[in-house]
Chain A
Amino acid sequence: MDLENQKRVKEFAEKFGAENVVVLLGAAEGEASGLAAETVTNGDPTYAGPLTGVQLGLTVYHVCEPEVKAEFDAAVYEDQVSMMEMVLNVDDIIKEMSSIRSQYCKYLK
C-alpha cells in the first residue's frame, strides 16, 4: 500500500478510534486486495511504510464484497461499480479478504 495512504489510515485510526474506522478497498485483484487488507490489520508486509509492525486490526472490505454491496443504493452501485464487478475475479477477492479478516480484524461485529 502506498506509504502516504498508510500514513493517512494510521492518522484516521488515531483520530477516530480504530474501532470506528472501516477501510474500503478497490484493488483490481485478490492478491493486491489481500496485501492492502493485511497492511491495515496486521501491519505492512513489505516493511516499508508507517504501518510496519503496527497491528491496527481495522475492519476492511473490498467494494465488490456482498456485505458492502448491500449497503449501497442499488442505482449508485450500478452506475459506479457494476462494470468492475463484471471484470474482477470477485470470488478470489472475497476469499483473500475473508482470510485476512478472520485472522487479523479486531472489531468485526
Chain B
Amino acid sequence: MKSVIKGTGYILAHTPDMVFYNGSTQTTERIVNPNSEYLKELPKHLRNYDQAVSYWPHQVYIGNKTPEELANTEEPYYDKTCDCKERYGKYGEIIPEDEFYLLLQASDVFDLVMLDKNFVSKTKDKFAKDPYIDESIVNRVKEGFDLKDIEKCVNEEHAEGLYIDFKLVGCVKKAHDVDPNFSAHVIHENLVAKASSVLALIAGVKNAGISKDDVDFVIDCCEEACGDMLQRGGGNFAKAAAEIAGLNNATGADTRGFCAGPSHAIIEAASLVAAGTYKTVAVTAGGCTAKLGMNGVNIVKKGLPIMEDVIAGFCIIISENDQKNPVINLDIHGKLAVGAGSAPQNVIGALVMDPLAEAGLKVTDIDKFSPEMQNAEIMKAAATGDVAEANYKMIAALAVKRGDLDKAAVATFPKEKGVKGYAPIQGHIPSGVPPIGYFRDEMLKGKMNRAMIIGKGSLFLGRLTNLFDGVSFVIEKNDGSKDSGGASEEEIKGLIAKAMKEFASTLLKSE
C-alpha cells in the first residue's frame, strides 16, 4: 500500500508579548542583565498584528502566497507590505495573541490557565468566529477570574503572566510546589506547544477534506517534553492535542529528534499507513515559546523589527493511496547512520546523494529540495546566513564532486532546485516540512513530479551524544495506478506449479 499526503495545515499565532516575557533570549537577559539597554529597546521593535499578517513570509506559510512568488520578491521583506493581508489562508491562519490565549485556556485540562474575566468576555465572540474553532472548543472557554487573583498568582506564586500590550490579562500557574518539571515556565511552554498543535491538527484535517473520526493515529514531533520529575519526557503531546482537536478515534505517540523530528515522524507515519497498521495518520507539531525573539539582540542592534514573533504549528495528514494525492515514496529515503560521520559532505552524501543513487536518480531528477527552510532574512540579520541556500549550494557542490552536475550549474542551482526559506525560526518547524503543502498543490496541478524533504537535527544540543542526525524522503506525483495488493490465490497456485516443474526437471537432469 502506498501512502499519500492527503492534506496539510500550517498555522501561526502572533504573540509579541510572549516574545518579551517568554522568549529565552529575553528571560536570560532579565536574569543576567535586568537593566539592559536591549530589554528597554526591544518593545519598540515588536510588530503589531496587522504588520505580522502583511509580512510576506507569513502569507507564504499559511498558503496565500507561494514560495516562488516570495523568491521573485526582492529582499528585505520586513519593510514591505504583502499585497495579501488575509488572516486565513489555504493551509491555515494567523491567530492573534488574545484569541490564542483563549485557545491556550481551552487546551488546558488541569485548571492551570487563568484568564481575566473582562478579557474573556471581550475576546470570546471574536474567538468563536474563527472557522477552525468549533463549538466544542468555544465551550471549553471558562468565564475567567478577577484580575486581582491573577496578579496574586503572578506576584506571589511564581505563575507566568499572560499579557496583551504589556498589560496582565491572565497567567499560567505552576502544577507542583517542588517539581521543576511542573514550574509555571514549563507548563506554559508545553501548553503553548499543545494549543498550537491543536489548531494545526484542526486545519490539517479540514484541509484534507476528511472527518475528524477518520484519523487513527497522531504523531507529535515538537521539541518539548512533558512529564513530572519521575518521567521528565513521558509524553504524550500527540494524544493530548488530539483530544482537544476532537479526533476521538485516534490515539497517538510522540517522536523526538530535535529539528529532524518532523521528517522522522512523516517516514514513520507513511510506513504505518503502508503497512496497513493505520489508515490515516496525522503528523503534528506546535511551536516553541523559548525561540520567540531568539535572535533579538542582533536584530535590535541592527534596528530591525523582531520577526521571530510568531508561534508556528503544522500538520501533515498521511493516508492510504487514493490514486490522486502525492505519494511518499518509501523506496527512496536517506538516513545519517551512527557511523556516517557529521561532516557536511557526509551528511549531504547520506541524505541526498546515496538514496538518489540507490534509486538510479540524480539530483537533477528532483524538481525541488526542501532542507532547512528558515526565513532567510532573519538568519541573515542574525549573522547566520541563508541556511536554505547554503544547503542547495552543498547539494550542488557534492553533485559536482560526484560528476553529476557541471560546476557552472552550481550558481543557478539554489534558484532552480531550491525553495526560498520563509518559515519562522522555531527549530523543528522550518525543518523540511513547510513547503509540503505547496508541493502537494503543485503535484496535483501536474506542475511538479518529485520533491525531496531533508530533515536534520543537532542532537548534540541534548548533551547525550555529539552526533548530528538526519533523514530524508521523496514525495512524488501520484501516477494514478492502483496498488498491486499482493498475489491472488490463482497466481500463487501457478507459481507453486512452476516451481514444482523446475524442481522435477532438475531431478531428471541429475539422474
Q: Determine if chain A interacts with chain B.
A: yes
Measured CB to CB, the residues of A under 8 A from B are 28-29, 31-32, 35, 46-48, 79-84, 86-87
Q: How far is the CA of A47 from the CA of B410 in the complex (A)?
A: 39
Measured CB to CB, the residues of B under 8 A from A are 25, 28-29, 32-33, 36, 297-298, 341, 343-346, 348, 383-385, 387, 390, 393-394, 397-398, 400-401, 410
- Which residues of A sit under 8 angstroms from B394, Cβ to Cβ? 83-84, 87
Residue of B28, B298, B400 touching A86 (CB-CB under 8 A): B400
Residue of A29, A32, A47, A83 touching B344 (CB-CB under 8 A): A83
Tally inter-chain residue pairs, CB-CB below 8 A: 53
Closest B residue to A34 by beta carbon equals B383
Q: Looking at chain B's contact residues, is the secondary structure mostly helix, strand, loop, or mixed? A: helix
Residue of A32, A48, A84 touching B383 (CB-CB under 8 A): A32
Tell me if A48 and B32 are in contact (CB < 8 A).
Answer: yes
Q: How far is the CA of A74 from the CA of B182 in the complex (A)?
A: 53
Closest A residue to B389 by beta carbon equals A87
Q: How far is the CA of A5 from the CA of B168 in the complex (A)?
A: 36
- Which residues of A sit under 8 angstroms from B383, Cβ to Cβ? 29, 31-32, 35
Q: Which 3 A-B pairs have the closest CB atoms?
A: A83-B345, A29-B385, A86-B397
Q: How far is the CB of B193 from chain A (nearest CB, A)?
A: 23
Residue of A32, A47, A84, A87 touching B36 (CB-CB under 8 A): A47
Q: How far is the CA of A99 from the CA of B33 in the complex (A)?
A: 29
Q: How far is the CA of A86 from the CA of B345 in the complex (A)?
A: 11
- Which residues of B sit under 8 angstroms from A47, Cβ to Cβ? 33, 36
- Which residues of A sit under 8 angstroms from B28, Cβ to Cβ? 48
Q: How far is the CB of B354 from chain A (nearest CB, A)?
A: 14
Q: Which of B33, B383, B387, B390 has the most CB of A within 10 A?
A: B383
- Which residues of A sit under 8 angstroms from B387, Cβ to Cβ? 28
Q: How far is the CB of A72 from chain B (nearest CB, A)?
A: 12
Tell me if B345 and A28 are in contact (CB < 8 A).
Answer: no
Q: How far is the CA of A21 from the CA of B345 in the complex (A)?
A: 27
Q: How far is the CB of A1 from chain B (nearest CB, A)?
A: 11
12 pairs, A vs B, C-beta closer than 8 Å: A28-B385, A35-B383, A46-B297, A48-B29, A80-B343, A80-B345, A81-B343, A81-B345, A83-B397, A84-B344, A86-B400, A87-B397
Residue of A32, A35, A84 touching B345 (CB-CB under 8 A): A84
Q: How far is the CA of A32 from the CA of B383 in the complex (A)?
A: 5
Tell me if A28 and B397 are in contact (CB < 8 A).
Answer: no
Closest B residue to A3 by beta carbon equals B28
Tell me if B385 and A83 are in contact (CB < 8 A).
Answer: no
- Which residues of B sit under 8 angstroms from A83, Cβ to Cβ? 344-345, 348, 394, 397-398, 401
Further 7 A-B residue pairs, CB within 8 A, beyond A80-B345, A86-B397, A87-B344 = A29-B385, A32-B384, A48-B25, A48-B28, A81-B345, A83-B401, A87-B390
Tell me if A46 and B298 are in contact (CB < 8 A).
Answer: yes
Q: How far is the CB of A6 from chain B (nearest CB, A)?
A: 13
Q: How far is the CA of A48 from the CA of B398 in the complex (A)?
A: 37
Q: How far is the CA of A81 from the CA of B347 in the complex (A)?
A: 12
Closest B residue to A49 by beta carbon equals B32
Q: How far is the CA of A28 from the CA of B386 in the complex (A)?
A: 9
Tell me if A28 and B343 are in contact (CB < 8 A).
Answer: no
- Which residues of A sit under 8 angstroms from B36, Cβ to Cβ? 47
Q: How far is the CB of A100 from chain B (nearest CB, A)?
A: 13
Tell me if B297 and A48 are in contact (CB < 8 A).
Answer: yes
- Which residues of B sit under 8 angstroms from A79, Cβ to Cβ? 343, 345
- Which residues of A sit under 8 angstroms from B398, Cβ to Cβ? 83
- Which residues of A sit under 8 angstroms from B346, Cβ to Cβ? 80
Q: How far is the CA of A87 from the CA of B347 in the complex (A)?
A: 14
